[in-house]
Amino acid sequence: MKARALVAWNVRRIRVDHGVPQEQLAYDAGIDRSYMSGLERQAENPTIDLLDRLAETLGVHLSEFFVQPPKGATTPKPLPKGRKPVHPRRQKK
């Protein structure tokens, strides 16, 4: 696995394991949500400083972003959507 793919896989794995939404992690780390999304999709190439901030925000050691996944491991599933609760439409009186 290439380094960018490895970092992307591990960032997402750790974020999902901690139950942290992408938007919240981006906010807490001081980056844009779209950049965070790009990082997890391997479209962005993060700096060591950014990885250090993400590790600190998630409460893990920087080396956790470079752990090889076990053979046959699948991509971590995204957290359930739910920015706003869905309410049934109100009946007009």
pLDDT digits (tens, 9 = 90+) for 48-76: 999 999 999 999 999 999 999 888 777 77
Q: Considering the domain boundaries, does residue 33 fall inside one?
A: yes
* Containing structural domain, residue 55: 3-65
Q: Considering the domain boundaries, does residue 89 fall inside one?
A: no
Q: Considering the domain boundaries, does residue 83 fall inside one?
A: no
Q: Residue 27 and residue 19: Cα distance in Å, rounded?
A: 15
Average the pLDDT over 8-15 and give the result: 93
Our count of domains for the chain comes to 1
Say which residue the tokens 């869905």 belong to.
86
Q: Does 27 score more than 90 pLDDT?
A: yes
Q: Considering the domain boundaries, does residue 84 fall inside one?
A: no
Q: Considering the domain boundaries, does residue 42 fall inside one?
A: yes
Q: Does 92 score more than 60 pLDDT?
A: no
Q: Considering the domain boundaries, does residue 77 fall inside one?
A: no
**CB-based contact 10:67 (threshold 8 Å):** yes
Q: Considering the domain boundaries, does residue 74 fall inside one?
A: no
Q: What is the DSSP string of 5-38?
A: HHHHHHHHHHHHHTT--HHHHHHHHTS-HHHHHH
**CB-based contact 60:20 (threshold 8 Å):** no
Percentage of the residues of the chain whose pLDDT score is greater than 70? 86
Q: Does 86 score more than 50 pLDDT?
A: no
